[in-house]
């Protein structure tokens, strides 16, 4: 199945399950969990169902397009279902069938994974879903977001699109994937990947990135003070990405690392608090 068909099938599948088909967020983020439609919507009481593709940036995971499984930018398909239905595992397995993955021809396993995002003050319990020993999905029952205990509980399903496509197309390298019939994943992403790795690991002016971190943080703080929720949150996202870049460049010491994460988390928590308070009014 073509890369773009996989996305299309997932959209179709989750549309039928009543999801809003949303779009990716236009700011760099490490995972779909940072998308406001995940972060904020998991906090409230109302039911919520959404699905979207989110390009996800993890600068430290870059391998100059040399490793078939690790990239600094890859695509997630993210689904949030609140409250989590009783048969959510079966629904998920049906979605694999929709992708042409027949459970009786593969070794599919739900392997414990206690998920935590220290930058978002979020945690949850669930699994990595293994398809013939490859993690293709993160399946999480959120327990906490922005430092707040959640009730009702949202279920987050995050598909690793490249990995699923690799299975589907029988290739052992993400860059060999057919995006459509005449364009490969490499055509679209390879040069970007290599150049981004260059930038993340070597070409970065880390003094500037460090300054940006401080500036973004300051701006987010200021906006939190003005109770401008989304702009404040967006600057938190930028702060978080600046931190990820610094982390990849290797200039950040272990102590600083913890303190930077703490600074981002405190912004995320403040945003969550603002959201909850504004809902109460």
Partner 1 sequence: METRDLILEIGTEEIPSGYFAHILDLLSFKEGSIKEIFEAEHIRIEGAASYSTPRRIILMLKDIPISQDMVIDGPPTRVAYDKAKAPTKALEAFIKKNDASIDDIEVFQDKKEQRVRLTKKGVSNKEALERILPKVIRSLDFPKTMRWNEEDFVFARPLRWILALFGDEILRFSLAGIESSNITYGHRFLGHDKIKVKDADSYFRVLEKNHVMWDNEQRKDKILTFLQKKRWQENMQLLEEVNNLVEYPYFLEGTFKKDYLTLPEEVLLASMSKHQRIFCLKDKQDALTNRFGAVLNGRYRGMRGIRRNYENVLDARLKDAFFFYESDTKKSLADWAEGLGEMVFHKELGTVKEKVERLKEIAAFFLKETGIKGVDKKALSRAISLSKADLLTQMVREFPSLQGVVGGYYALVSGEGNEVATAIGEHYLPRFSGDHLPKTEAAIICSLADKFDNIVCYFKIGKFPKGSWDLYALRRQSIGIISILLNKQIHLSLEKAFDYVCGITPASCDKGKIKVVYLNFFKERFIAFIKEKYDYRYDLLDSVIASGVDDPYDCSLKLGDLDSMIDEPCFEKARCIVERTYNITRSSKLKAEEPKAALFKDAKERSLYGRYKEIRDEFMGLCAGKEYRRATELYGDSLAEEVHSFFADVMVNVSDKDLKKNRTALLSAINRLYRDNIADLSKIVVTRE
Give the shortest CB-279-to-partner 1 separation in angstroms: 18
Closest CA to 75 of 172, 165, 178: 165
C-beta closer to partner 1: residue 71 or 229: 71
C-beta closer to partner 1: residue 28 or 247: 247
Residue 4: count other Cβ atoms within 10 Å of its Cβ: 15
Q: What are the structure tokens assigned to 231, written together?
A: 């702009």
Radius of gyration of the chain (CA): 19
C-beta closer to partner 1: residue 64 or 179: 64
Contacts to partner 1 by CB under 8 A: 63, 66-70, 83-84, 86, 89, 103-112, 114, 124-125, 127, 131-134, 141, 143, 151-153, 166-167, 172, 253-256, 258
C-beta closer to partner 1: residue 103 or 118: 103
Give the shortest CB-202-to-partner 1 separation in angstroms: 12
Residue 31 to residue 27: CA distance in whole angstroms: 11
C-beta closer to partner 1: residue 193 or 234: 193
Q: Which residues contact 169 (CB under 8 A, 6 or more apart)?
A: 1, 2, 176, 177, 178
Residue 114: count other Cβ atoms within 10 Å of its Cβ: 11
CB 170 within 8 A of CB 36: no
Give the shortest CB-253-to-partner 1 separation in angstroms: 3
Give the shortest CB-37-to-partner 1 separation in angstroms: 21
Give the shortest CB-209-to-partner 1 separation in angstroms: 18
Give the phi and the psi of residue 49 in degrees, each rounded to 5. Answer: -135, 125
Give the shortest CB-166-to-partner 1 separation in angstroms: 8
DSSP letter (8 states) at residue 250? T
Residue 219 to residue 221: CA distance in whole angstroms: 5
CB 248 within 8 A of CB 62: yes
């Amino acid at each position: 199945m073509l890369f773009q068909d996989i996305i299309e099938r997932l959209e179709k599948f989750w549309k039928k399950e009543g999801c809003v088909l949303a779009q990716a967020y236009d700011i760099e983020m490490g995972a779909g969990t940072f998308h406001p439609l995940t972060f904020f919507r998991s906090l409230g009481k109302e039911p919520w169902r959404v699905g979207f593709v989110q390009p996800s940036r993890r600068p430290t995971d870059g391998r100059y397009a040399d490793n078939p499984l690790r990239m600094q930018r890859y695509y997630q398909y993210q689904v949030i279902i609140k409250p989590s239905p009783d048969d959510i595992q079966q629904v998920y397995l049906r979605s694999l069938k929709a992708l042409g993955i027949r459970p009786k021809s593969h070794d599919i396993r739900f392997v414990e994974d206690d998920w935590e995002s220290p930058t978002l003050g979020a945690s949850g319990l669930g699994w990595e879903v293994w398809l013939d020993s490859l993690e293709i999905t993160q399946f999480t029952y959120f327990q906490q977001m922005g430092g707040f205990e959640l009730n009702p509980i949202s279920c987050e399903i995050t598909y690793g699109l490249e990995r699923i496509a690799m299975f589907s197309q029988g290739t052992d390298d993400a860059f060999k994937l057919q995006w459509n019939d005449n364009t490969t994943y490499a055509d679209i992403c390879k040069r970007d990947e290599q150049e981004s790795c260059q930038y993340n690991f070597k070409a970065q002016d880390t003094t500037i990135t460090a300054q940006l971190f401080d500036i973004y943080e300051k701006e987010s703080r200021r906006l939190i003070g003005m109770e401008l929720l989304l702009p404040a949150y967006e600057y938190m996202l930028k702060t978080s990405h600046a931190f990820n870049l610094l982390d990849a460049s290797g200039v950040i010491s272990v102590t600083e690392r913890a303190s930077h994460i703490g600074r981002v988390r405190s912004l995320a928590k403040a945003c969550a608090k603002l959201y909850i308070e504004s809902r109460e009014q």
